[in-house]
Structures are given as C-alpha cells and as structure tokens.
C-alpha cells in the first residue's frame, strides 16, 4: 500500500514546526514499506500532543488514558498476536505517570513497540518540565528552573530488559524511518526514544541545539560501550544501541501451557 493510503481525513492539530510531524511522516512511510494492513495495525496513544498521532495514521487505533497506553497495548497484542502494536506517546506520559508500565513491558519482552516523542516538556498542558528535561533549566513557561534530574530513557529501558533500544531525531525523517523499520521488525519489546523540538514551549532544545550535538553511531555498541554511549551527555549519539534475540512473553507463556486469552478475560494479568 502506498503512503497516502495510511493518511486519514483528520485535521492535524500540532503547532507548525512541531517534531511530531517528522514522526508522523516516518511512521507512515515505515508501515507502508512493511505493507502492514491498516486493519492489523494498532497505534495506542496516551495523553499529550503527540498521542494525537493515532488519528492521523490509518489503523485500528486507540486513544488511551494518561500513562496507560502500554498496558492497553500489551493486552491487545496478547489477545491477538497477529497485530502490529505500537505505543506512541510523550516522555511525560511514558516516563512520568506511565513509568511503571514502561518497566513492566521491558521485563516481559512482549512484542510491542514504544515510540517516545521526547521533547522534555508537557506541551499539551502548557510547557511544564517533562522527565527528560535537564536539571536547572528554566524554559519559557516555567516559573522556576527544573529541580529534578533528567531521566535517561535508554538506561531505564536497558535496566528494564528491553530487547531493542534506539534513539532517533524527529527532523531526520529518513533516518528515523530506517530505525522505525528495524524496531517494528524486531520480535520483542522495542523502544525508540525520538528527540524532537517542541517549538512552542521548549526554547532551549531547539533544532539548532539538537543539530549542534547529535551524531550517528557507526555500529551497534557492545560490552561496556553500550552504557558509555547511552550516558554520553555533551554530544548525543543516535542509532541502535542494543538488540538481542530472546523468547517473547508470548512464547514463554506457551511453554507453561497458559491460555492467555482466558487469563486476560479474567483480568488477572494486568
Ligand atoms: Fe508540538 Fe509543543 Fe505544539 Fe505540542 S505544544 S504541538 S509538542 S510544538
């Protein structure tokens, strides 16, 4: 199917220049290239500007509640393993209120992809500090500088057990699409931390700010250099940091001869 067939009639309600447009374009191109039937594509959004992406790509999509996109996506995938299930939400949603679910998905290695629209602010609620905003930074709409330390999504994903971990940049649409293709093809829990400017509220991490710092990894790091690369701060590496093949949650449950559908119906799993 051509890319245009994944477009919907919905009016895109993002500010001009928002990084979300890059993610939208790259994701449409990736699912088109993989020829995923829209009936078998499920995007699950949380709450926030970025989560509105579920209205802009044809699929059997769900606009969920704040911080709960991952458990809903997990239930969908376990109920119907044929589906391609992708969570798309902001850093505030996934790494703030939804952080416990983010960790649980990594531990389970369910075949769900998590796209973090990472702009370090809560854009929808007018620019408060998000979990990835560096400490001491005061952005346009904040009364005081951020008192929290920034959370590193890659390290959290690694510690949680994700089997595919990558970082991308929303304005580099072609490279972002390549990373999304790899994430979707991977069997297991995958996370792509997508750095993106919020042109309205984040007046520090602008296009110029990112483009002075980012560079692409030449290859997937191994051994101790995985953590070194994930922790780099002055410059920001992009690309795939970690990939590992191992049994998914679904596969492991088969070994126990558990009927997942009946477990989900009884609501005992989540
Ligand atoms: Fe994008 Fe920020 Fe505007 Fe929200 S407020 S649509 S994140 S630029």
| pLDDT at residue 256, as a whole number | 76
Phi, psi of 140 (to 5 degrees): -40, -45
Protein residue with least CA distance to atom 5, ligand 1: 123
Q: Are residues 258 and 268 in contact, defined by beta-carbon separation less than 8 angstroms?
A: no
| pLDDT at residue 1, as a whole number | 86
How many angstroms is it from 92 CA to the middle of ligand 1?
13
User: Along the 270 residues of the chain, how does pLDDT read in single tens digits?
Assistant: 899 999 999 999 999 999 999 999 999 999 999 999 999 999 999 999 999 999 999 999 999 999 999 999 999 999 999 999 999 999 999 999 999 999 999 999 999 999 999 999 999 999 999 999 999 999 999 999 999 999 999 999 999 999 999 999 999 999 999 999 999 999 999 999 999 999 999 999 999 999 999 999 999 999 999 999 999 989 999 999 999 999 999 888 887 777 776 776 666 555
Q: Are residues 145 and 158 in contact, defined by beta-carbon separation less than 8 angstroms?
A: no
Q: Could you write out the DSSP letters of every residue in 148-178?
A: SPPP-HHHHHHHHT-SEEEEEETT-HHHHHH
Helix (H, G, I), strand (E, B) or coil at 199: coil
| pLDDT at residue 268, as a whole number | 53
Nearest to 87 by CA among 222, 200, 205, 192: 192
Protein residue with least CA distance to atom 3, ligand 1: 15
* Pocket, ligand 1, Cβ cutoff 6 A: 14-15, 18, 20, 49, 119, 123, 198-201
Return d(Cα 100, Cα 164) in angstroms, integer.
Answer: 18
How many angstroms is it from 140 CA to the middle of ligand 1?
13
How many angstroms is it from 13 CA to the middle of ligand 1?
9
Strands (E), the chain: 41-45, 62-63, 84-90, 113-118, 121-122, 128-129, 164-169, 190-195, 214-216, 236-243
Protein residue with least CA distance to atom 1, ligand 1: 18
How many angstroms is it from 15 CA to the middle of ligand 1?
5
């Amino acid at each position: 199917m051509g890319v245009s067939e994944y477009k919907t009639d919905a009016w895109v309600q993002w500010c001009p220049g928002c990084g979300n447009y890059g993610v939208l374009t790259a994701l449409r191109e990736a699912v088109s290239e993989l020829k995923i039937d829209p009936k078998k594509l499920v995007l699950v959004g949380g709450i926030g500007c970025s989560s509105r992406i579920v209205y802009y790509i044809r699929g059997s999509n769900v606009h969920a509640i704040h911080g709960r996109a991952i458990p809903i996506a997990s239930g969908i995938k376990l109920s119907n393993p044929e589906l391609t299930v992708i969570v798309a939400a902001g850093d505030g949603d996934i790494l703030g209120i939804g952080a416990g679910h983010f960790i649980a998905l990594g531990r389970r290695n369910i075949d769900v992809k998590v796209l973090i629209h990472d702009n370090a602010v809560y854009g929808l609620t007018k620019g408060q500090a998000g979990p990835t905003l560096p400490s001491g930074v005061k952005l346009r709409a904040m009364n005081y500088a951020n008192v929290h330390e920034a959370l590193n999504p890659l390290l959290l994903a690694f510690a949680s057990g994700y089997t595919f971990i990558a970082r991308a940049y929303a304005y580099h649409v072609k490279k972002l699409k390549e990373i999304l293709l790899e994430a979707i093809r991977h069997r297991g829990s995958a996370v792509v931390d997508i750095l993106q400017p919020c042109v309205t509220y984040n007046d520090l991490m602008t296009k110029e700010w990112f483009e002075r710092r980012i560079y692409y990894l030449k290859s997937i790091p191994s051994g101790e250099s995985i953590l070194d690369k994930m922790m780099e701060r002055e410059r920001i590496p992009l690309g795939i940091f970690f990939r590992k093949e191992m049994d998914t949650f679904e596969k492991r449950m088969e070994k126990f001869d558990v009927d997942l559908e009946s477990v989900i119906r009884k609501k005992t799993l989540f």
